[in-house]
Structure 1
Amino acid sequence: MALLTYRLLLIFLLPVVLLAAILRSLSQPAYRQRLHERLGIVPNKFRSGGIVIHGASVGEVLALKPFINQCLAEFPNLPITVTTFTPTGSEQVQKIFGDRVQHCYLPLDVWPCTTMFLTKLKPKALVVMETELWPNLVAQAHKLNTKLLLINGRISDKSVTSYQKFSALIKPCLAKFDQVLAQSEANKERLIALGARQAHCHNIGNLKYDISEGSDTKVKYQTLSPMFPQARPVWLLASSHEGDEQLVLDAYRKAREAHSELLLVIVPRHPERFDKVAQLLAQEGFSYQRRSNAQPIMSETQVWLMDSLGELLAAYQLANIVTIGGTFSTIGGHNPLEPALYQKPTIVGSDMANFAEVHQQLVQQNGIITLAHQDNKQQLALQLSQQVRQLLVNNTQAQTLGSNAYQVVKANQGCSERTLAALKTELS
């Protein structure tokens, strides 16, 4: 009954959802492109009878990269279809995999859209990542005897209550999965509490530890490196959200009192904010350049705005210190393992809910600096600037932090292979 109500509601809301996508396309034109895919109309050239792997956006696609590559090697005769929701995620799939995979958007979780999608692709397995629980899609795939795997599963403490409000939908949805592979024991227990079958739910680790530098990142590094001044220390703000830039700029002003040569690099999380961040830099009176101008960084430039996509991993290599955005509010943070791969000392705010277990391991191994929660933004900016200044003068501390973080990455790798083994078991 709950699923039927859900289906009817979404059918009723379909025009509203499409209108929202069109409105969003005013700031991001890519959202009005390929709308037919969001309705479940898959390109005619796509082969059927393979494996569908879904990662919502950029972070998920990057985490899935090793697993997808292993699937391509293990199942050379099966078409691998990789789906995303966001245009930036779509762009990453195309950059990383090219024509080695089939790619389209995952359709809206509305009965006619998912029906067309599944009827065309007829997947042997549908693999979804983390919290991508779409009751209608899962129910239809299950009815077609498609193997269902939830991989890298995670549910944060604060999300459990929200999911429990929709238990009539979530519980039967989770129960239909043939394998639920959790990031950690805590996530496993939460998923079981929400409805996953205990015998089919396992803790196998986090895919995001299986990060590595690919040839595409090396090429991007070779492009970026000549643009950077050799003698200046670099502080990089990664994946920034609204409010992060102002906080870091306030801290940067204080840090420059002792380190006037310090270069700040800002990488906004969402491309629709590039111009807004540029306006903020102008209003605050900073000398800045934009990556899109493709010019070397000048000696008088204080801030370099990376208004580009897919270059963050390469940029980490050029940084002396990293601060991760989305950790100073209620966003939940972003992946601290990426700078750890390059042994970079990293500073985060108090909100790392999206990476709670990863963050805990880094803290235990002295591989990250976490700022204390502060409601007063001026005090938080002061605390941040003090940590940056400390790392700039204490090279031993900076190297130790980076080295310890790297060891955490290496010690926890192998989840991709375990995920592949689970998929092979289901398809055998």
Structure 2
Amino acid sequence: MARLLYSILFYLLLPLVLLRLAYRALKAPDYRHRVAERFGFFRSSPPPGGLWVHAVSVGETIAAAPLIRHYLQQHPDLPVTVTTMTPTGSERVRALFGNRVFHVYAPYDTPDSIRRFLRRIRPRAAVIMETEVWPNMVCQTAASGVPVVLANARLSAKSAAGYQRAGALSKPVMRAFYRIVAQHQADARRFAELGVEPHALRVSGSIKFDLTLEETQRRSARELRQSLGSDRPVWIAASTHEGEDELLLAAHRKLLTQLPEALLILVPRHPERFDSVARLIENQAMSYLRRSASTGDTGSIQVLLGDTMGELLVLLGCADVAFIGGSLVPHGGHNSLEAAAWGLPILTGHSDFNFADISQRLEEAGALIKTDAQEIGAVLTSLLANQGKRESMGSAALAVMEGNRGALATLIAEIDAALASGAE
């Protein structure tokens, strides 16, 4: 009954959902394309009996990439479908895998949209990344005989309390999962309190630590760094949000007074902000170049604006120091492990609640420094002038990565079991 009422409410709210989609399309035009896919309508379909991986956006796609890559390499005859909710996630899937996977937008959580989607995809098992739990998506998939795995699952105390308040709806959903592979014991305990049976729970650690850089990414980073200037100090501000760019440009201006050859690679999180950030740089009277520009003298610019999709890992590989955005404003930060994989010293602001555990591990190891808008310029100057300190922090970052690997193997074992169960 609770899910029926939820579905009716979702149908009633669909006009508002579409209005929100139209509003987002004003800033990011890609949202106006392929809308039919969000209702389960699409032309081509993958062969039946494959693996369906749902990764809502860029961060989840990057986290799922080693998993997807494993099945493409080790099980080349297994069709893989990847769904996302955002255009940036879609672009990331295409950049990583091209035509090796079947990609569409995930359907809205209405019974008919989910039903159409499942009839076209006909998966043998489904993997939902992290905390993207939609009642109809989970329950209808499980009811169709498809085992559903919640992978790299996180559940904060606040979110758990919300699920408890909606227990009539959430508990049947949680019990519908074939397996929930949680990041930490605390996450598993909260899922258990929501009614998940012990046999359906596993603890793996975070698969984000299993990130592996490909040789093509390393080569592209080396080539770009050479064009930027191998000897100049370079720092990157990755995944920045509105309200941060002004602060980071001000920090860069202070840095230039001490290190006039310094270069900032500024990468906004959302593509709809590329043009507005370009105007901010112009207003600061700094010489800059957009990464998307086909020509330009990259060796003499003060700022490189990262306005392309799917290149963040390569751009990180060009830097000597990485600042992780979403942390100088109360957004909760982003994943620092992509910078750690390059062996970079890492800076963040104090708002890191989305990745508190990862930040704590890196900070305790001496790989990460938390700072604020007033101090970041001084911290940057100190780090960029001290190669020994950078190397020490970078080595610590790599050690944290290596010391926490292994979650991927646990997750793959659970997905293999789901695939075997779905084939029965």
Pairing 1:404–2:396 present: yes
2:380 matched residue in structure 1: 388
Pairing 1:256–2:256 present: yes
In 2, Cα distance between equivalents of 1:382 and 1:296: 32
* Equivalent residues of 1:182, 1:188 under 8 A apart: yes
- 1:154-173 → structure 2 map (5 Å cutoff): 154-173=154-173
1:49 matched residue in structure 2: 49
Which stretch shows the higher mean deviation, 230-239 or 246-255? 246-255
Distance 1:159 1:295, change over 3 A: farther
**Could you give the per-residue CA deviations for residues 63-91 of structure 1, whole angstroms, max 9, x where no partner exists?**
11111122234443332111111111112
Pairing 1:416–2:397 present: no
2:86 matched residue in structure 1: 86
Give me the identity figure in percent: 39
1:285 matched residue in structure 2: 285
In 1, Cα distance between equivalents of 2:359 and 2:193: 24
Equivalent residue letter for 2:403: A
- Once superposed, what is the RMSD of the aligned Cα atoms? 1.8
In 1, Cα distance between equivalents of 2:249 and 2:398: 28
What secondary structure does 1:250 align onto?
A: helix
Pairing 1:212–2:212 present: yes
What secondary structure does 2:416 align onto?
A: helix
Which stretch shows the higher mean deviation, 18-27 or 407-416? 18-27
In 2, Cα distance between equivalents of 1:239 and 1:309: 12
Distance 1:389 1:44, change over 3 A: closer
* Equivalent residues of 1:348, 1:369 under 8 A apart: yes
Equivalent residue letter for 1:414: G
What secondary structure does 1:318 align onto?
A: coil
What secondary structure does 1:382 align onto?
A: coil
TM, length-normalised to structure 2:
0.94
- Flag structure 2 segments of 5+ consecutive residues without an equivalent: none
* Equivalent residues of 1:51, 1:78 under 8 A apart: yes
1:68 matched residue in structure 2: 68
1:100 matched residue in structure 2: 100
In 2, Cα distance between equivalents of 1:191 and 1:29: 38
* Equivalent residues of 2:235, 2:320 under 8 A apart: yes
Distance 1:244 1:193, change over 3 A: farther
In 1, Cα distance between equivalents of 2:339 and 2:278: 24
* Equivalent residues of 2:383, 2:390 under 8 A apart: yes
Equivalent residue letter for 1:194: L
Equivalent residue letter for 2:225: S
* Equivalent residues of 2:63, 2:211 under 8 A apart: yes
1:120 matched residue in structure 2: 120
- 1:27-426 → structure 2 map (5 Å cutoff): 27-218=27-218, 220-221=220-221, 224-298=224-298, 300-371=300-371, 380-426=372-418
Distance 1:166 1:294, change over 3 A: farther
What secondary structure does 1:25 align onto?
A: helix
Tell me how far 1:298 sits from its aligned partner.
Answer: 4.6
Tell me how far 1:251 sits from its aligned partner.
Answer: 1.8
Tell me how far 1:226 sits from its aligned partner.
Answer: 4.1
In 1, Cα distance between equivalents of 2:116 and 2:186: 37
What secondary structure does 2:41 align onto?
A: coil
Which stretch shows the higher mean deviation, 122-131 or 266-275? 122-131
Equivalent residue letter for 1:72: L
Q: Kindly tell me the number of residue pairs found equivalent between the two proteins.
A: 420
What secondary structure does 2:351 align onto?
A: coil
Distance 1:42 1:195, change over 3 A: farther
**Could you give the per-residue CA deviations for residues 196-241 of structure 1, whole angstroms, max 9, x where no partner exists?**
3233111111111111112442453255234302332011100000
Which stretch shows the higher mean deviation, 282-291 or 32-41? 282-291
Tell me how far 1:152 sits from its aligned partner.
Answer: 0.3
Tell me how far 1:99 sits from its aligned partner.
Answer: 2.1
**Could you give the per-residue CA deviations for residues 240-282 of structure 1, whole angstroms, max 9, x where no partner exists?**
0011111112222222222222111100011000001111112
What secondary structure does 2:26 align onto?
A: coil
Pairing 1:5–2:8 present: no
Equivalent residue letter for 2:411: T
Distance 1:19 1:220, change over 3 A: farther
What secondary structure does 2:27 align onto?
A: coil
In 2, Cα distance between equivalents of 1:338 and 1:192: 31
Distance 1:213 1:296, change over 3 A: farther
* Equivalent residues of 1:133, 1:170 under 8 A apart: no
**Could you give the per-residue CA deviations for residues 276-317 of structure 1, whole angstroms, max 9, x where no partner exists?**
111111223322221121334455522211111111111112
- Flag structure 1 segments of 5+ consecutive residues without an equivalent: 372-379
Tell me how far 1:427 sits from its aligned partner.
Answer: 2.8
* Equivalent residues of 1:241, 1:269 under 8 A apart: yes
In 2, Cα distance between equivalents of 1:73 and 1:300: 42
2:19 matched residue in structure 1: 19
In 2, Cα distance between equivalents of 1:215 and 1:39: 38
In 2, Cα distance between equivalents of 1:95 and 1:223: 19
Tell me how far 1:393 sits from its aligned partner.
Answer: 2.3
In 1, Cα distance between equivalents of 2:57 and 2:388: 36
In 2, Cα distance between equivalents of 1:335 and 1:277: 22
Which stretch shows the higher mean deviation, 218-227 or 318-327? 218-227
What secondary structure does 2:289 align onto?
A: strand
Distance 1:164 1:241, change over 3 A: farther
What secondary structure does 2:150 align onto?
A: strand
Distance 1:173 1:123, change over 3 A: same
What secondary structure does 2:258 align onto?
A: coil
